[in-house]
Structure 1
Amino acid sequence: MFIARVTGSVVATQKVGSMTGHKLLVVEPYRLEEKKRGSLVPTGRTFIAVDPLGSGEGDYVLICQGSSARLTPETKDLPIDAVVIGLVDSVHIEKTNVYSRNDS
């Protein structure tokens, strides 16, 4: 599981039948800034994730990847590798608030 920021969406009009109606997002994983450990920074990678929760561009989300992505009731029969499993409200590291949804 990791934190990612929603940077876009994907529209695919032709896809396998089981994927019809599922929202696809472009997400970029974030990590804790290494030296000061006071902020989240992008990793430079991107993934496509199914979003059953309705998140939007700019939101920070929790992503589950690999076979675990198919363990939710919404995704158990889908051919996916990544799913949004939560919307991030805040991140605290060593008593420091490094992200708050209310401050965005």
Structure 2
Amino acid sequence: MQLAKVLGQVVATAKEPGLERFSLLLVQDAAGADPEQTRGPAYVAVDVVGAGVGEIVLVASGGAARVAAGADTPTDRAVVAIADTVIRGGAVSYRK
């Protein structure tokens, strides 16, 4: 799993039937010690927990994403948790 920040939503009126029950989020991986700092390209993930823009989330990928979203859902990445606190080296690096 990877920490990431939700940048926005992707709206698609026509979706594969397995995706109809989910929102699609635009996310970017967290960089370094501060989860609010991001790096790399943004990507789309299926939202299975109801995350919002600006939140720090955990993203599962590959088979774990498909299991989280349901075996019938075609996805490579899924938002599976919303972080309340991130503790690194005994110090809080993020608090919601």
Q: Which residue of 2 aligns with 1:95?
A: 90
> How big is the shift at 1:71?
1.5
> How big is the shift at 1:2?
0.4
Counterpart Cα distance in 1 of 2:90 and 2:20: 43
Identity of aligned residues (%): 33
Task: Note the residue ranges of structure 2 that are not aligned, 5 or more in a row.
Answer: none
Within a 5 Å distance, the mapping from 1:62-77 to structure 2 comes to 62-72=58-68, 74-77=69-72
Counterpart Cα distance in 2 of 1:11 and 1:5: 18
Task: Note the residue ranges of structure 1 that are not aligned, 5 or more in a row.
Answer: 34-38
Q: Which residue of 1 aligns with 2:73?
A: 78
Q: TM-score normalized by structure 1?
A: 0.83
Q: TM-score normalized by structure 2?
A: 0.90
Question: Structure 2 residue aligned with 1:57, among 53, 74, 88?
Answer: 53
Counterpart Cα distance in 2 of 1:64 and 1:32: 19
Counterpart Cα distance in 2 of 1:12 and 1:24: 8
Q: Deviations over 1:27-59 (max 9, x none)?
A: 1110224xxxxx232113211111121110011
Number of residues of Structure 1 aligned to a counterpart in Structure 2: 95
Tell me which structure has the larger Cα radius of gyration: 1
Larger strand share, 1 or 2: 2
Worse overlay, 12-21 or 62-71: 12-21
